[in-house]
Amino acid sequence: MQLAILFGGASYEHEISIVSAITVMEKLPRFELSFVFCDQDHTFYLIDRSNMKAKYFASGAYKKAPVLTLTAGGFLQKRRLGSTEHKWPVLNLIHGADGEDGTMASLLSFFDIAFIGPRTDASVLSYDKRMTKWFAQGRGINTVAYEELNCTGMRKTKTPMPCIVKPSRLGSSIGVSVVKSESELDYALDVAFEFDDSVIVEPFIAGVREYNLAGYRGTEGIVYSIVEEPQKQEFLDFDKKYLDFSRSSEVGAAQIDAALETKLKLAFADIYEGLFEGALIRCDFFVIDGEVYLNEINPIPGSMANYLFADFEGALTDLLGNLPRVRRARVEYQYIHSINAAKGK
């Protein structure tokens, strides 16, 4: 089965996307893979599998690779004599801006390219942490209390210490700080505002139980991964998450009872249904006093959360066979023709 892995992008998570692509490549031995790299200037390159190494991109050697442009249904590779159209289905593996904010989803949809990944509306609602909370609350799912600070406003918070400060539109724990006293707040805000004009402040809940659950809609309905209880200290910082994006070994299932597992799956389904079809996503949940709270939605999880599935290759095959159909208006100019007919033209 053919599949093109699309990675890179102009974001703070550019390098993480490269790591993810290399990891996923190794997990799909039965696929006929192609690799499309989007650099920080938004140029697309067709990368040979033999060059799928981090150093190849860091050195700039990728600029010698064939350039691709978008065309109806796929990518176009111009040659000295003519051109070649590549009409593969695409796995959107661009993390952060470009990939998860809706830009790439809109671009692929506009050019009618089949792809695995969140659609535009799902991307917008899950990329911005404020909108994620609004969306979850609208679907009756608990979220942790928060307040928003803007770079042009007051640098004071009503949230009691300790608290967590994080950019509203960024992932991989970049710019995130645990603030334990008022004296640390200014520095934490400086760090967060380096990446975004909007910042979310949440109470830091010591010892909270956290669980990760991935899934997608396949032939038989929603297919769930195992439930993972991530091992962490205070929180998963960037270094730990960077390593997380190169994970390829299966992890053990969390030791939880059937009732809690059911609660987590029901919350996941409430989030997924009617919005994330066509994507494999991972939801990170807190459990507080026996109640499930959504922490965040990962619309394009690191390495596609391959380590949570016993048969990751089968999961992507199933997902590819169940991508949502796009409804397109058929333009027939009936209104203009009727007006012209009425005028006798």
Separation between Cα atoms, residue 50 and residue 108, nearest integer Å: 26
pLDDT above 70 covers what percent of the chain? 94
Residue 229 has pLDDT above 80, yes or no: yes
Do both 219 and 196 map to the same domain? Answer: no
Give the model's confidence band at 247: pLDDT under 50 very low, under 70 low, under 90 confident, else very high: low
The confidence score (pLDDT) of residue 344 equals: 67
- Structure confidence by residue, pLDDT tens digits, 34-45: 999 999 999 999
Mean pLDDT over residues 222-230, rounded? 96
DSSP-derived 3-state class of residue 275: coil
Question: What is the CATH number for 16?
Answer: 3.40.50.20
Q: Whose CA is closest to 219, among 327, 312, 90, 320?
A: 320
Torsion (CA) 278, 36, 303, 143 in degrees, nearest 10 = -50
The confidence score (pLDDT) of residue 187 equals: 93
Do both 6 and 97 map to the same domain? Answer: yes
The confidence score (pLDDT) of residue 340 equals: 78
The confidence score (pLDDT) of residue 179 equals: 92
Separation between Cα atoms, residue 260 and residue 266, nearest integer Å: 10
The confidence score (pLDDT) of residue 170 equals: 78
Mean pLDDT over residues 41-60, rounded? 97
- Domain holding 280, by residue range, is 124-142+206-320
Residue 248 has pLDDT above 70, yes or no: no
Mean pLDDT over residues 306-311, rounded? 95
Alpha helices, H only, 89-184: 103-110, 120-127, 129-138
Give the model's confidence band at 23: pLDDT under 50 very low, under 70 low, under 90 confident, else very high: very high
In a domain, 31, yes or no: yes
Question: What is the CATH number for 307?
Answer: 3.30.470.20
- Structure confidence by residue, pLDDT tens digits, 109-156: 999 999 999 999 999 999 999 999 999 999 999 999 999 999 888 888
Mean pLDDT score across all residues of the chain: 92
- Give the containing element (helix H, strand E) for 87: none
User: CA of 178: how far to CAs of 42, 189, 237, 322, 326, in Å?
Assistant: 34, 11, 10, 41, 43
- Higher pLDDT: 244 or 218? It is 218
The confidence score (pLDDT) of residue 203 equals: 93
Residue 79 has pLDDT above 60, yes or no: yes
Tell me the residue length of the chain.
Answer: 345
Give the model's confidence band at 331: pLDDT under 50 very low, under 70 low, under 90 confident, else very high: confident
Residue 261 has pLDDT above 90, yes or no: yes
Residue 28 has pLDDT above 80, yes or no: yes
Q: Which segments of 28-79 are extended strands (E)?
A: 32-38, 44-47, 67-71, 74-78
Q: Which two tokens stand for residue 126?
A: 């899950």
Do both 232 and 128 map to the same domain? Answer: yes
Q: 188, 203, 218 — which closes off a domain? A: 203
The confidence score (pLDDT) of residue 245 equals: 56
Mean pLDDT over residues 267-282, rounded? 98
Give the model's confidence band at 25: pLDDT under 50 very low, under 70 low, under 90 confident, else very high: very high
Do both 224 and 87 map to the same domain? Answer: no
Do both 220 and 291 map to the same domain? Answer: yes
Do both 91 and 192 map to the same domain? Answer: no
Residue 234 has pLDDT above 60, yes or no: no
In a domain, 25, yes or no: yes
Q: 116, 133, 153 — which closes off a domain? A: 116
Residue 298 has pLDDT above 80, yes or no: yes
The confidence score (pLDDT) of residue 239 equals: 52
User: CA of 163: how far to CAs of 16, 78, 285, 292, in Å?
Assistant: 27, 53, 18, 20
Mean pLDDT over residues 2-8, rounded? 98
Do both 219 and 310 map to the same domain? Answer: yes
- Structure confidence by residue, pLDDT tens digits, 90-111: 999 999 999 999 999 999 999 9
Mean pLDDT over residues 319-338, rounded? 88
Count of the separate structural domains present in the chain: 3
Q: 186, 203, 220 — which closes off a domain? A: 203
Question: What is the CATH number for 190?
Answer: 3.30.1490.20
- Structure confidence by residue, pLDDT tens digits, 173-209: 788 999 999 899 999 999 999 888 999 999 998 889 9
Give the model's confidence band at 339: pLDDT under 50 very low, under 70 low, under 90 confident, else very high: confident
Mean pLDDT over residues 309-315, rounded? 96
